Amino acid sequence: MSRREPLIFIIAGEPSGDNLAGRLIPALREMTDGRARFAGIGGPQCEAQGLKSLFPMRELALIGIAEVVPHLPRLVRRINQTAVAARELKPDVIVTVDAPSFTLRVAKKLRGSGIPIIHYVAPQAWAWRAGRTKTLGTHVDHLMALLPFEPPFFTEHGLPTTYVGHPAIESAMTGDGKAFRRAHGIPEAAPVLCVVPGSRSSEVRHMLPVFTEAVLLLTERYRDLQIVIPVAPNVSELVERQTIDWPVPVTRVIDPANRFDAFAASDVAMAKSGTVTLELGLAGVPMAVGYRVSALTAFIVRRMPIAVKYASLVNLLVDRDVVPELLQEACTAEAVAEEVGCLLGSPEKRAAQQAGYGDVLHVLGDADPPPSKRAAQVVLDLIRDRSG
C-alpha cells in the first residue's frame, strides 16, 4: 500500500452506482482491517457507509441526450469541482462508478495527475459505440466489468479489464417474500404486481404514466391485485404523487434493505429496462420490460449503429427472448397490460420465464467470493502495484 491508511476517492453518479459503491466500501474496509479511508461523491448507500459526499448525488441522476443538455452548465461545474477535490486530496486511487457521462469526464480532467483510476461498470460501448473504447483507455487505468463477455472486448482494445461479477448475484436471491407480505398486510393468496418505473426522475416521467394506465387496465380483470413499488429515495416523492390515487393497495418500498424482500413477495412485474430486470430475473419474478426516452433522444439513438438485439440484460445474457421487451412506440399501456395479464393468468408462461432465469444465472457464474469483494481486491491490487 502507498500509505498506512489508503485513501480511496469514489465517484458514484446515480442510484445504481451508489448501490455498487455502497457494497464496495465495506468490502474494502474489511479487506484492509478497517484502515481504508474514503472521500468523493455518493448517495444514501455510500453515506450510510460514512462517505461525506462533496455535493448531493441526485444532481447527477440524468439520462438521455435531451435530458442532459439543459443541465450542462451545472454538470460542468460539478465535474470541475470533483476534479479539483481529487487533485487536492491526492488519493491512492480513484474509483469512478457507472454514470459515464459524468464520471469519465472527471477522469479526463484528471489525466496526467498520476492518480490511478479504475472505472467500475463497463460502458456499453460493445453495444453501440465500439470506437469509444480507445478514448476510455486514455482516461482510466483499469476497468471492472459486471458481465462475463465484456473483458475480451475491452482488453482487445488495449484496456486492462477484470470481470468481477454482477451485484445482482450477491443479493437478488436473498429476499423473504412471506415476511414482506406479513409486514405489509398483504394476503398470502393475493396476486402481487411489482412496478419499477426507474430510479431517475426523467425515467419516472416517461415510464410511470404508461405503467399507471396499464395498472388501471389490469385492475379491471384482477380485482384483488396488490401493487408493490420499490422506489429510489431521489424519486420517492414524484412516484408517490403519481400513484397515490391508484384504485388498488400500493406498498411503496423506499428502504433499499427491503427491496429484495419486495421482489420475493411479487408474482409478476412490469419494469423499466435496466439493472432491475436482472435483479428481478435472479429473484425469479416473471416480468414484462418496457422502455421509453424522449423523442429527441430516440431520434438520435436510432441513427447510431446498434450491435445488440436486446435491451434487457436478461435477454442479452442468453441471447434470446426470455422476457418480452416493449420499447419506445411499442411501450403502450395496452401492450404492457396484455403481457403482464398473460403472466398473471398462465402458470406455464411464468414457469418458462423462470427456466430462462436459470440459464442467466449459469452465464453469470457463482457469487463466491461475492462481486463486491472481487472488486475490492482489484482496487487494492492496483494500489499495491502502484506503490511498488
* Topology agreement, domain 7-165+367-387 and domain 171-364: yes
Question: Considering only the top CATH level, what class is 7-165+367-387?
Answer: alpha beta
**Which of the two residues, 289 and 305, has the higher pLDDT score?**
289
| Rounded CA separation 178/229 (Å) | 17
| Rounded CA separation 89/288 (Å) | 46
Q: What is the pLDDT of residue 133?
A: 65
Given a cut of 90, is residue 162 above it in pLDDT?
A: yes
Q: What is the pLDDT of residue 257?
A: 85
Beta carbons within 8 Å of 152's beta carbon, 6+ residues apart: none
Q: Render pLDDT for 95-115 as a digit per residue (tens, 0 to 9).
A: 999 988 889 999 999 999 999
Given a cut of 60, is residue 129 above it in pLDDT?
A: no
Any idea which fold 171-364 has?
A: Rossmann fold (3.40.50)
Calculate mean pLDDT across residues 302-324: 79
| Rounded CA separation 314/180 (Å) | 25
**Structure confidence at residue 296 as a pLDDT band (50, 70, 90):** low
| Rounded CA separation 382/143 (Å) | 11
**Structure confidence at residue 65 as a pLDDT band (50, 70, 90):** very low
| Rounded CA separation 165/145 (Å) | 7
Q: Per-residue DSSP letters for 203-251?
A: HHHHHHHHHHHHHHHHHHH-TT-EEEEE--GGGHHHHHHHHTT-SS-EE
Task: Using the structure block, give the residue that is written with the C-alpha cell 423499466.
Answer: 272
Given a cut of 70, is residue 61 above it in pLDDT?
A: no
Q: Render pLDDT for 179-232 as a digit per residue (tens, 0 to 9).
A: 999 999 999 999 999 999 998 888 899 899 999 999 999 999 999 999 999 998
- Three-state DSSP at 95 gives strand
Q: What is the pLDDT of residue 72?
A: 75
Lowest mean pLDDT: which of 12-21, 166-175, 298-307, 322-331?
298-307
Q: What is the pLDDT of residue 1?
A: 42
**Structure confidence at residue 295 as a pLDDT band (50, 70, 90):** low
Residue 30: count other Cβ atoms within 10 Å of its Cβ.
Answer: 13
| Whole-number average pLDDT of the chain | 89
| Rounded CA separation 344/239 (Å) | 24
Beta carbons within 8 Å of 87's beta carbon, 6+ residues apart: 110, 113, 115
Beta carbons within 8 Å of 38's beta carbon, 6+ residues apart: 7, 8, 9, 10, 25, 28, 46, 49, 50, 51
Taking CA atoms, 386 is separated from 2, 69, 141, 379, in Å, by 8, 38, 11, 11
| Rounded CA separation 251/243 (Å) | 10
| Domain boundary assignment for the chain | 7-165+367-387, 171-364
- Grid coordinates representing 214 are 396499464
- Size (the chain), residues: 388
**Structure confidence at residue 297 as a pLDDT band (50, 70, 90):** low
| Start-end of H helices in the chain | 15-31, 44-48, 65-68, 72-89, 100-109, 125-128, 132-139, 150-156, 168-171, 177-183, 201-221, 236-243, 259-264, 275-282, 295-301, 313-318, 333-345, 347-364, 371-387
- φ and ψ at 87, to 5 degrees? -65, -40
Q: Render pLDDT for 330-366 as a digit per residue (tens, 0 to 9).
A: 999 999 999 999 999 999 999 999 999 999 999 998 7
Looking at the chain, the whole-number percentage of residues with pLDDT higher than 90 is 69
Which residues are registered as beta bridge partners of 325? Answer: 289
What order of strands is seen across the sheet that includes strand 325-327? 250-253, 226-230, 192-196, 268-272, 287-291, 325-327
Which residues are registered as beta bridge partners of 53? Answer: 40
With residue 320 as reference, give the H or E element that holds it.
none
Q: Render pLDDT for 130-139 as a digit per residue (tens, 0 to 9).
A: 556 667 888 9
Q: What is the pLDDT of residue 311?
A: 83
Q: What is the pLDDT of residue 2?
A: 45
Q: What is the pLDDT of residue 165?
A: 94
